[in-house]
Amino acid sequence: MRNELSTAFQQLDGVLAANQDLWSCQPFTNNDLPWSHTHRHLTGALLALGDEELLALHGSQQLRQHWFQHLEPDLCAALYAFEPPLAARVRPLELDSFDSLHMPGRKWQQIVSFAGALPQRNLPHVDWCAGKGHLSRVVQRNQRQPVHCLEWDAALVATGSALAARQCRDIHYHQHDVTRPLPLDCADPARVHMGLHACGELHHHLLRHVASTRARAVALSPCCFHKVSTEYYMPLSGAARNSQLRLDRAALHLALKSTVAARRTERELRERERWWRLAFDALQRDVRGCDDYLNVPSCKRELLRQGFGDFCHWAASERQLALPAAIDYDHYLQRGRERQRAITRLELLRQLFSRPLELWLVLDCALFLQEHGYRVAVTQFCDNSVSPRNILIQGERI
**Among residues 209 and 339, whose Cβ is nearest to ligand SAM?**
209
Indicate whether 179 belongs to the interface with ligand SAM (CB under 6 A).
yes
Q: Interface with ligand SAM includes 334 (CB under 6 A)?
A: no
Least Å distance, CB 158 to ligand SAM, is 13
Residue of the chain from 13, 72, 99, 151 that contacts ligand SAM (CB under 6 A): 151
Stretch that binds ligand SAM, among 33-41, 42-50, 174-182, 357-365 (CB under 6 A): 174-182
Shortest Cβ 383–ligand SAM spacing (Å): 16
Q: Does 181 bind ligand SAM (CB under 6 A)?
A: no
Contact residue for ligand SAM among 124, 131, 160, 222 (CB under 6 A): 131
CA distance 83 to 62: 13
Distance CA 56, CA 6 (A): 34
Cα 122 to chain centroid distance, Å, stands at 32
Residue 142: phi and psi, rounded to 5, are -90, -35
| Choice between 227 and 285, CB closer to ligand SAM | 227
φ and ψ of 388, to 5 deg: -70, -20
Q: What is the DSSP letter of 290?
A: -
Number of other CB atoms surrounding residue 149 within 10 Å: 30
CB 61, min distance to ligand SAM, A:
22
Distance CA 149, CA 250 (A): 32
CB of 127 to ligand SAM, least distance (A): 7
Q: Shortest distance, CB of residue 36 to ligand SAM, whole angstroms?
A: 37
Q: Which C-beta is closer to ligand SAM: that of 39 or that of 134?
A: 134
In 291-353, where does DSSP find H-type helix? 301-304, 308-318, 329-351
Q: How many chain residues bind ligand SAM (CB under 6 A)? A: 18
Calpha distance 265→176 (Å, rounded)? 37
Out of 156, 218, 251, 377, name the contact with ligand SAM by CB under 6 A: 156
What's the one-letter identity of residue 99? Answer: D
By CB under 6 A, is residue 153 in contact with ligand SAM? yes
Residues in 183-202 that interact with ligand SAM by CB under 6 A:
196-197, 199, 202
The Cα 311–Cα 88 span in angstroms is 51
User: Would you say 174 or 249 has its CB closer to ligand SAM?
Assistant: 174
| 194 strand-pairing partners | 127, 219
Distance CA 124, CA 185 (A): 9
Instruction: Give the phi and the psi of residue 282 in degrees, each rounded to 5.
Output: -65, -40
User: Toward ligand SAM, which CB reaches closer, 201 or 310?
Assistant: 201
Q: Which residues bind ligand SAM (CB under 6 A)?
A: 107, 129-131, 134-135, 150-153, 156, 177-179, 196-197, 199, 202
